Amino acid sequence: MIKGALKSKTVWWNVLLAVLGGLELIGAHLTTLFGAQVAAAVLAAGAMANIALRAITTQPLSEK
């Protein structure tokens, strides 16, 4: 399963979003650089992309 997760675009996208969200909590980097509305839009767009990736997923992680 872990081997399959390493090949998953959806998993890697979620790792990226988690890192961005964590950095935002620690130091408000996105908010400082772009403002609160843009930072929120970036994370919301990331969530929408996650939904799209999930919709096109055809294989379980165990088969990757």
Tell me the pLDDT tens digit for each residue of 22-39.
877 788 877 888 888 988
Establish if 40 belongs to a structural domain: yes
The yes-or-no verdict on residue 52 having pLDDT over 80 is: yes
- Our count of domains for the chain comes to 1
The answer to whether the pTM exceeds 0.85 is: no
Instruction: Give pLDDT, residue 33.
Output: 84
Instruction: Give pLDDT, residue 45.
Output: 92
Give how far Cα 15 sits from Cα of 6, 9, 63, Å: 11, 10, 20
Domain of residue 11 covers: 2-59
Establish if 64 belongs to a structural domain: no
Alpha-carbon dihedral 6, 49, 17, 13, rounded to 10 degrees: 10
Give how far Cα 51 sits from Cα of 3, 8, 26, 28, 38, Å: 22, 14, 26, 25, 20
The model's confidence at residue 1, banded by pLDDT at 50, 70 and 90, is: low
Cβ-Cβ contacts under 8 Å for 63 (sequence gap 6 or more) = 4
Average pLDDT of the segment spanning 35-54: 87
